[in-house]
Chain A
Amino acid sequence: MNHRPPVQAVRLTASVIFLVASLATVAVGQRSVSRHFPAGKNVRLELKNLSGTITVETWDRDDIKVTAMMDTPTVHFNPRQTDTGLVIDIVGDNRGRGDVGDVNFKVQLPPRSSVDLETRRGQINVSNVQGDLVRAHVWTSGDIQLYGINAARVMASNSTGDIFFDGEFASGGTYEFKSGQGTITLQLPVNCGFRLVATAPAQKISMGKFWNPNMKTLGEGRRIIGDVGDGRASVTVTNYNGDIKFRLR
């Protein structure tokens, strides 16, 4: 018979114990909080995070569910209900408390909601929101992904990271996308109409099927100005050091 030497068996057992203990420590260190808030159909969510991912989804219920997964169990997390909706301010609630680690949010709310999201670092994902406003701002690094958006005002900006928008532009709406470094991709339906000012001083602007001969290029192709369709929405796209791409939905 092939017996395992006792020293190896002890080492193996010690490794397993260490691994289990480490996982238990991580699980104990993290804290997950879940809260429900009653809301009307047209609510506004305002969320200011320090660091971590923010994911916002819609559901067919007239309330808001916020789930926060915190790296540090002592993070102050005090959502406030206002007349118009819900305010979560991790920055203000933890001012002067030093490093509070990542707080990852998942928010579920009614489709006709407005969302105003901001984080100093981390990714922002928003899907299927159809309220008046969708604003996503990452002060430093983090991708922004906006899927199935149909809002009158959309603003998405970061310093480093990609921005992806999939949705429709409302007539008379305003849409602004700005990145310092990363690719900005706008995925739009074929029949959408907007007035465009797209500026990419260092890289390329690719209009795809949305190019038409009435568009003007300025500064050796670093800026494109022109109307697509009825030109009733206003679209401004700026990328300091990255590509701008238009794609058919």
Chain B
Amino acid sequence: MNCEKYQDLLSDLIDGSLTPRDCEEIEAHLSACGACADARADLHAIVQFCREHRGEYEKVPNERAMWLRISNLIEAELPARNANALPAGASWWFRLANRSWQLTFPQFASSIAATVVVAVLLTFAGMRVWSNASGTKTGGITVGSEVSTVQDRYRQQQQLVDYWNQRVEMNKTRWNPQMRETFEKNLSVIDAAVNDSMGRLTRNPHDEVSEDILNAALSDKIALLKEFSEL
């Protein structure tokens, strides 16, 4: 087998669904092939991360509506019914309902764009109505949802941080001591900014400056971890 074949089997190896003989053969190859061993380490980290964070992701808001959209798409891809099969005296409504909707790419793109524009306008309109109804708006941020929004965003970003942190930890042993020290020092500078702005936001959830700094520092932290995960 070549590396490509071995890498195809890595997922099964991690899931434990291979025979002991196959496992032995792959392990022997991994001990000799650095590229495949790296691929296994990456895949293992991803699978482990997914297992550890199972159930932490937000549910789809309306599962039924989403399923309907999917089934509509599947039906649209089925072979179109023959339009000639329509009865001769059929009404325009009957013809419209039984028409095969095959769109060219520009038509399809235009319809998607139109849908997005309508969705955005409806969202804005909805937000305006909602914020006017609640009547507690300060500095562009709505009081009621503000704290939970910041914390939700922080939690989501933290999941990304955890993922990239794991990858960095795997590679850190290969770095020289000077690079490790520099990395740790700079990460602590960013962490200090994150902690400081979180502290300020806890005391004052309306603090726009701290919210901006928190977002910027978290983005910087993820970018730094991402960059150093490849080192």
Contact = CB atoms under 8 A, between A and B. Distances in A.
A140 B183 contact: yes
Interface stretch (A28-36, A61-69, A107-115, A217-225): A217-225
B227 A199 contact: no
Contacts of A98: 174
Contacts of B228: 120, 139
A203 B209 CA distance: 13
B161 interface: no
A241 B193 contact: yes
Given A160-B186, A238-B216, A180 B209 contact: no
Chain B contact-residue range equals 20 to 34
Contact of B179 (A121, A201, A219, A223): A121
Contacts of A218: 208-209
A240 B214 CA distance: 10
A99 B197 contact: no
A240 B208 contact: no
Nearest to A202: B196
Interface string B181-222: 011011001101100110010000001111011001100100
Contact of A159 (B179, B190, B207, B216): B190
B186 A180 contact: yes
Contacts of A178: 216
A141 interface: yes
Pick from A95, A98, A140 the residue with the most CB of B within 10 Å. Answer: A140
B186 A223 contact: no
A240 B209 contact: no
A51 interface: yes
B94 interface: no
B210 A219 contact: yes
A32 to B, nearest CB: 22
B108 interface: no
Interface string B151-194: 00000000000000000000000111001001101100110110
Contacts of B209: 199, 201, 218-219, 222-223
A160 B179 contact: no
Contact of B189 (A99, A120, A180): A180
Given A199-B213, A240-B213, A120 B185 contact: no
B220 to A, nearest CB: 7
A180 B216 CA distance: 11
Q: Dominant SS at the A interface?
A: strand
Interface string A64-105: 000000000000000000000000000000010011000000
B36 interface: no
Given A140-B182, A140-B186, A241-B193, A159 B176 contact: no
A159 B186 contact: yes
B143 interface: no
B214 to A, nearest CB: 10
Contacts of B196: 201-202
A178 B217 CA distance: 11
B231 interface: yes
B179 A240 contact: no
A42 interface: no
Given A99-B176, A140-B182, 19 more contacts: A51-B179, A95-B230, A139-B224, A139-B227, A139-B228, A140-B185, A140-B224, A141-B185, A159-B224, A180-B186, A180-B190, A201-B197, A201-B200, A201-B210, A202-B196, A218-B208, A240-B213, A241-B192, A241-B193
Interface of B: 174-176, 179, 182-183, 185-186, 189-190, 192-193, 196-197, 200, 207-210, 212-213, 216-217, 220, 224, 227-228, 230-231
Interface of A: 51, 95, 98-99, 120-121, 139-141, 159-160, 178, 180-181, 199, 201-202, 218-219, 222-223, 238, 240-241
13 contacts: A98-B174, A120-B228, A120-B231, A140-B224, A141-B186, A180-B189, A180-B190, A180-B220, A201-B200, A218-B209, A223-B209, A240-B190, A241-B193
Closest 5 CB pairs of A and B: A219-B209, A159-B186, A240-B193, A140-B186, A180-B189
